[in-house]
Structure 1
Amino acid sequence: MRRNLSITLLSLGHACVDVYQGAVASLVPFFVAERAYGYATVSGLVLAASLLSSVVQPAFGALTDRWSMPWLLPVSTLVGGAGIALSGTSGSYGATVLFLAVSGIGVAAYHPESARIARIASRGSHSAMGWFSTGGNLGFALAPLLVGAVVGSGGLHLTPLLALPALAGSVLCLPVLRALGRRHTAGASAAGACGADDRAAFVRLSLAVVCRSIVFVGLSTFLSLYAQQRMDGGAAAGTAALFVLYLGGAVGSVLGGTLAGRWGRVTVARWSYLVATGAVAGVLVAPGPALYLFVALTSVGLYVPFSLQVTLGQDYLPSRVGTAGGITLGLAVSVGGLAGPPLGALADATSLRTALAPLVLMPVLCWLLFRTLPEPAAPLPASGPPEVPAVTEPGPDATDPGTKGPEATAAEPGRQSGPH
């Protein structure tokens, strides 16, 4: 299977999974309308989806560094979809929290292994990883439209219909996994990246990931309600704001891979966070429809660094790409939910605008942290058996400035190979 087809299928599967991360925030207005939940209460739902995900995601990353577990992709996709599908079927707040937590675990299990497999399929290309990340962003963008079409038309009891993307995503990844299995059976192996881990740089990168996550999840949780207030409109105004926020992320991820090939990942990410700082401030003060413009700029500013952080993390920890991917790709989205309840409580006590104001500081902290990060050198190849000529997957694209050469395959050095 050629690289472009592999990345396309993985990107579509990533979209099907991240629909369920975007669906949590998209369901918030409906929980408020049908169950009369307050700001703090609905932020607790977002926390339920993100807390367990935040805790277990590094654990899944460590497991994928030790064992190859490609079966996690279809299984975790189905688990993530099942949790969201069941979330609206019970009027019990406790049951809703449980179902959203199950969905969060499914999403957590998906990202570390998918990042490892995408790294194999992309062969270290920044632009290819950007497209893989874009798939997740498109899933986010489609979530409010999907939830609005299903739940908006018939109420929360129709959430089981939201399981359809999970069924599609679990099927889309199978051809890629079969192709990797055939390569492994044929004995094809490319050298894995080697080099010393830069743990200090990875810790600083992870702190930037957390700060980025806080501002993004904080906005996505309350933006729909905030837009309804500011635009003096109904649910459509809030759905449109979320759609712009998530769609801008798809544009930002593709743009990030392109810009990084010219100016470097660290430099591009640093400037992007400066743009995001001004854009978040604009969301709070812009009058009328200008709100949507600043939402779009915020999204692009936060998502240009998104795929770059994934490859930076893998280059800072070349011996633990699963752990690096789990933190930078998965934790980047989920950990921000921890800030949801305090923001919700502040909104209940004051106003939404006051509660969202501290988010302006988060991109500033990201910018400061990126000023301390080095640009990793291209990883040196470790010795390993040569490629089998019969394998048709092409080598690195010489025209892609982000391509660093062959990366780890399904049988990476030091990994026990599991079933494919």
Structure 2
Amino acid sequence: MTASNDLTVPRNRPEAPAAPAARRIWTWAAAHAVDDFYQGLVPAAVPYFVLERHYSYLAAGGLTLAATLGSALPQPLIGVAVDRLRLPRLAAAGVLLAGLGFGLSGLADSYPAVWLLLLLSGLGAAMFHPAAGKAAREAAGDSVTGMSVFAAGGSVGFFLAPVLAVPALTAWGAGGTVVFLPPAVLAAFVLARATRRRAAARSAPAGGRDRWGPFAVLTMISVVRSAVFAAVATFIGLYWIRHLGGSQTLAGTALACFLGGGVAGTIAGGRLADRIGPVRTVRIGALLAVPMLAALRLAPGPLAPLAFAALAGLALNVPFAVLVRLGQDYLPARPGTAAGVTLGLGVSVGGLLTPVFGLVADAHGTPPVFTLLCFVPAAAFALALLLPADARPSPNPYTSEGDRIRRS
């Protein structure tokens, strides 16, 4: 079989991970859900801060920016540290900090204090992703579907955030953020125990040549995807309330539909990549996002657009797990760095553009924001055309030596 202009379809589908590895995937997926639950709570809480404390749209975007700065800027350094040092409890500490930062933010009186606490919450997410992404790839092996289970954990966390935030914050206001502290404490405890049991396991030296050019293109695709996703998640509730005339509950439902579609898209993307190849999957997801976002913008009333909110979330998340997997394939000697950039920096840094959309919303309302977002995924598709073809799936360089021995 010769290489085409894309990844060729594998002759044999990757084998499912063995039972112990599968259990590790689900453990890390559950921890990922808790960690990203706190990132998802930020856009879910923004409308309550705006309506209760009379923040402007620019200030609303600034809250998302705070969490994004904390999770985005430290990612490369944390990824390098994960690759060079043994930091078994870093992920547990990150989940705990993410929960503490968000949980205390609603109790703060001033905007600067809220902003700083959300910054610390984002920093916790930054501490989690590189170590967790590396561990998940070890367990997933060559299966993109296995990696998508881990990535979908984060999408589940984002999905559950508005579902649980709407009743709590509607009942108690912004101060209700404190009720979301316990999951972080529990997840940190479970991860600390799990990593202590595996502290003696070391990864075998990774093989292969790092390809920084394709990785840079991949990172730009992640940023574009993230910019759209963060903007929709931040402003969709206000779009429903102030433009479509929906209630706060219906606005929370719209966000839940969008994030729930993202969960389905993450799983679907992994399965699709195992069948047709990762690069094709990235291109398909970027291309599908354009009509789904256009339909979301054009559908009338507060009820009809709900279906397109789910479909837009699905399309935007089809490439999510695939980008994480490809990043580690392009940097086989630096799994922590690759995970930190694609899973953390690439996903979070797009939120740095959210205040720009906030300025547009302050000047013209939320409808022009959603009009602009219809065109942004086209840039991701154009960038995906630059990704190199590779006829052979990359071997998994992150399998621990113990797993190599057991499989031989």
Tell me if both proteins adopt one fold, taking TM over 0.5 as the criterion: yes
1:373 equivalent to 2:387? Answer: yes
Distance 1:193 1:32, change over 3 A: same
- Structure 1 stretches of 4+ moved >3 Å: 375-391
Alignment partner of 1:282 out of 287, 292, 295: 295
Which has the higher mean CA deviation after the structures are superposed, 129-138 or 351-360?
A: 351-360
| Aligned amino acid, residue 254 of structure 2 | A
User: 1:307 aligns to what?
Assistant: 321
Alignment of 1:196-211 (within 5 A): 196-211=209-224
Q: Please state whether the residue corresponding to 1:155 is helix, strand or coil.
A: helix
Q: CA–CA distance in 2 between the matches of 1:12 and 1:175?
A: 14
User: 2:270 aligns to what?
Assistant: 257
Q: CA–CA distance in 1 between the matches of 2:84 and 2:47?
A: 41
**What count of residue pairs does the alignment treat as equivalent?**
388
Spell out, residue by residue over 1:345-365, the C-alpha distance to the aligned partner (whole angstroms, 9 max, x if none): 111111211123222222101
Alignment of 1:6-405 (within 5 A): 6-184=24-202, 191-288=204-301, 289-376=303-390, 377-379=392-394, 387=402, 395=407
Contact 1:195–1:379 under 8 Å retained in 2? no
Q: CA–CA distance in 2 between the matches of 1:341 and 1:197?
A: 35
Contact 2:63–2:115 under 8 Å retained in 1? yes
Spell out, residue by residue over 1:316-338, the C-alpha distance to the aligned partner (whole angstroms, 9 max, x if none): 11111111101111123311221
Shift of 1:164: 1.5
Spell out, residue by residue over 1:247-284, the C-alpha distance to the aligned partner (whole angstroms, 9 max, x if none): 11111111111111110010011011111011111111
Contact 2:89–2:191 under 8 Å retained in 1? no
Contact 2:151–2:320 under 8 Å retained in 1? yes
Shift of 1:382: 7.4
Which has the higher mean CA deviation after the structures are superposed, 131-140 or 169-178?
A: 169-178
| Aligned amino acid, residue 335 of structure 1 | V
| Aligned amino acid, residue 229 of structure 2 | F
Q: CA–CA distance in 2 between the matches of 1:110 and 1:158?
A: 25
Shift of 1:168: 2.2
Q: CA–CA distance in 2 between the matches of 1:135 and 1:69?
A: 22
Distance 1:195 1:292, change over 3 A: same
| Aligned amino acid, residue 393 of structure 2 | A
What are structure 1's unaligned runs of at least 5 residues? 396-405, 407-420
Shift of 1:162: 1.0
Contact 2:220–2:346 under 8 Å retained in 1? no
Q: CA–CA distance in 1 between the matches of 2:128 and 2:85?
A: 14
| Aligned amino acid, residue 96 of structure 1 | V
Distance 1:35 1:261, change over 3 A: same
Spell out, residue by residue over 1:380-405, the C-alpha distance to the aligned partner (whole angstroms, 9 max, x if none): 577999648996xxx4xxxxxxxxxx
Q: CA–CA distance in 1 between the matches of 2:323 and 2:299?
A: 30
Q: CA–CA distance in 2 between the matches of 1:364 and 1:321?
A: 29
Q: CA–CA distance in 1 between the matches of 2:248 and 2:380?
A: 32
Distance 1:219 1:94, change over 3 A: same
Q: Please state whether the residue corresponding to 2:95 is helix, strand or coil.
A: helix
Q: CA–CA distance in 2 between the matches of 1:374 and 1:58?
A: 24
Q: CA–CA distance in 1 between the matches of 2:58 and 2:404?
A: 59
Shift of 1:298: 1.0
Spell out, residue by residue over 1:272-310, the C-alpha distance to the aligned partner (whole angstroms, 9 max, x if none): 111101111111111232311211111111111100000
Contact 2:282–2:384 under 8 Å retained in 1? yes
Q: Please state whether the residue corresponding to 2:352 is helix, strand or coil.
A: helix
Q: Please state whether the residue corresponding to 1:181 is helix, strand or coil.
A: coil
RMSD: 2.1
Contact 1:14–1:139 under 8 Å retained in 2? yes
Distance 1:386 1:165, change over 3 A: closer
| Aligned amino acid, residue 299 of structure 1 | G
Spell out, residue by residue over 1:95-120, the C-alpha distance to the aligned partner (whole angstroms, 9 max, x if none): 00110000010001110111011111
Shift of 1:339: 1.0
Q: CA–CA distance in 1 between the matches of 2:291 and 2:404?
A: 52
Contact 1:193–1:380 under 8 Å retained in 2? no
Q: CA–CA distance in 2 between the matches of 1:380 and 1:23?
A: 37
Contact 1:201–1:374 under 8 Å retained in 2? yes
**Residue identity (%):** 37
Q: CA–CA distance in 1 between the matches of 2:61 and 2:51?
A: 15
| Aligned amino acid, residue 135 of structure 1 | G
Distance 1:375 1:161, change over 3 A: farther
User: 1:418 aligns to what?
Assistant: none
Which has the higher mean CA deviation after the structures are superposed, 21-30 or 143-152?
A: 143-152
User: 1:398 aligns to what?
Assistant: none
Spell out, residue by residue over 1:177-209, the C-alpha distance to the aligned partner (whole angstroms, 9 max, x if none): 24422545xxxx6x4542111111001111111
What's the TM-score once normalised by structure 1's chain length?
0.88
Spell out, residue by residue over 1:110-140, the C-alpha distance to the aligned partner (whole angstroms, 9 max, x if none): 1011101111122232111100011110000
